[in-house]
Chain A
């Protein structure tokens, strides 16, 4: 019986390893490459992976990092949520009126073509370095992006399924839960992922140019001190938080929503 259990466990591990192998391999290749390059250049240009990871460990559990990461995350999430809400106003107005869609179109195109650095410079000049630079940059750049990602979700709602729901007089709750949500959920997950990822990059950029705190500002400080090890440690520590968000929030959400495409 024990041997059977052991064999079953080994088989389970083997299957897991088989599925995880390509991902682990790519990270391993990255670290090996980093290790060999770091041996050929001075350590102040590129520190070894081991010393960087040690520094990352120290940084990650420091009060300074927790405080600054909290500020950066707060700015990213607030900016993203505001952009998300504004994008919904634009999407709903576009869905109900063709005139409104035509009205928003040039503004959306303009928003999409604004480079992040230009957005930050202009906002810093106009509002000063202590103003809500990060929020405004996120709203300016993310709103058109979210609009572009979510508008097709509303346009591509299957009219045939809606007709079926009307004929069989499904309640509004049943209709939304079983007919609408599975169709738009994949678009929403993509918009959340892409939006949050872009939001933190924009916030870090804005913090580099404007704020006196946040992960971006700390990275700038260590960059001014030529401490690449610290820069990488701060970056990897913040990256670890985003990986945790991906695995703890987005992937369970993906499993929760019955995907439209999975069973088609």
Chain B
């Protein structure tokens, strides 16, 4: 259980393009926070700052446990593209993050993780032999196998077709219900934000980026599912009507 404190973060690129100026946010333990905003508003930059892939120009990011002690988090990251090594099998790609592909009990762990992300395969296939949706499930399994206390997801379903993305969203929600992890994810999709997150942080499109609004969703799992079904239904009806009218 880890909470994240971002205090007065400033970040600019090449000293010119200021993305964040004294940006602060607190993410509670086991909370799922979504960053929502237009392209280029700094969603991925903030996620990379939290994951340690980028360093802030000023300010600090701290991870604290329940006793308010600063800890080094075990992070899982699901990128926009799955970023699986094409020369390794699925099993080896997953076990690689455990400190080498020949780690003990890896087969059992991999099977368990693939089952968790609803991908019943033996792991001997190569990434080139799988679909986009399957690859993203593998990426999720890889992120979860390290038993992370912080999970980052960077627009994980943005390049998938709507049907696959919808299925993956449902599965991800089930995973969140089974495993409690502090989760930060970014999306363009408002429905995805409301469906998955406990809190949605809406970012402005102007530079430097500021928080426009924070929405607490406060929904139970059933409410989320109902909302999702209704949205999908309305979307399909709208599409059919549009076609008929055209």
What residues of chain A have their CB less than 8 Å away from a CB belonging to chain B?
160-161, 163-164, 166-168, 170-171, 174, 178-179, 182, 258-260, 262-264
**Residues of chain B with a CB closer than 8 A to A170's CB:** 96-97, 99
Q: For the complex, give the distance between the alpha carbons of A160 and B100 in Å.
A: 19
B23 lies within 8 A of chain A by Cβ = no
B88 touches A258 (CB 8 A): yes
Which residue of A174, A179, A263 is within 8 Å of B126 (Cβ)?
A263
B190 lies within 8 A of chain A by Cβ = no
Q: For the complex, give the distance between the alpha carbons of A174 and B81 in Å.
A: 22
Q: For the complex, give the distance between the alpha carbons of A114 and B100 in Å.
A: 46
A185 CB to closest chain B CB, in angstroms?
10
Contact residues on B (Cβ < 8 Å of other chain), bracket: 20 to 34
A182 touches B85 (CB 8 A): yes
Residue of A nearest to B146 (CB): A168
**Residues of chain B with a CB closer than 8 A to A179's CB:** 85
**Residues of chain A with a CB closer than 8 A to B88's CB:** 178, 258
Q: For the complex, give the distance between the alpha carbons of A167 and B52 in Å.
A: 7
A167 touches B77 (CB 8 A): yes
A21 CB to closest chain B CB, in angstroms?
29
Residue of A nearest to B101 (CB): A178
Q: For the complex, give the distance between the alpha carbons of A17 and B85 in Å.
A: 35
Q: For the complex, give the distance between the alpha carbons of A179 and B101 in Å.
A: 12
A252 CB to closest chain B CB, in angstroms?
18
Contacts between the two chains (Cβ within 8 Å), count = 55
Q: For the complex, give the distance between the alpha carbons of A259 and B85 in Å.
A: 11
Q: For the complex, give the distance between the alpha carbons of A166 and B52 in Å.
A: 8
Q: Given A160-B81, A178-B101: A167 and B87 within 8 A (CB)?
A: no
A264 touches B81 (CB 8 A): no
Q: Given A166-B52, A166-B53, A167-B53: A263 and B146 within 8 A (CB)?
A: no
Binary interface encoding of chain B residues 68-83 relative to chain A, with 1 for a CB under 8 A from any of its CBs, else 0: 0000000111010101
15 contacts between A and B (CB under 8 A): A160-B83, A163-B83, A164-B83, A166-B52, A167-B77, A168-B76, A168-B97, A168-B146, A170-B96, A170-B99, A174-B96, A178-B92, A178-B101, A182-B85, A263-B127
Q: For the complex, give the distance between the alpha carbons of A170 and B77 in Å.
A: 13
**Residues of chain B with a CB closer than 8 A to A166's CB:** 52-53
Q: Given A160-B79, A160-B83, A161-B83: A263 and B99 within 8 A (CB)?
A: no
**Residues of chain B with a CB closer than 8 A to A264's CB:** 86, 128
**Residues of chain B with a CB closer than 8 A to A168's CB:** 75-77, 96-97, 142, 146
Q: For the complex, give the distance between the alpha carbons of A259 and B86 in Å.
A: 9
B85 touches A161 (CB 8 A): yes
**Residues of chain B with a CB closer than 8 A to A260's CB:** 86-87
Q: For the complex, give the distance between the alpha carbons of A164 and B97 in Å.
A: 9
A-B contacts besides A174-B99, A260-B86, 6 pairs, CB < 8 Å: A168-B76, A170-B99, A171-B99, A258-B87, A263-B86, A263-B126
B51 lies within 8 A of chain A by Cβ = yes
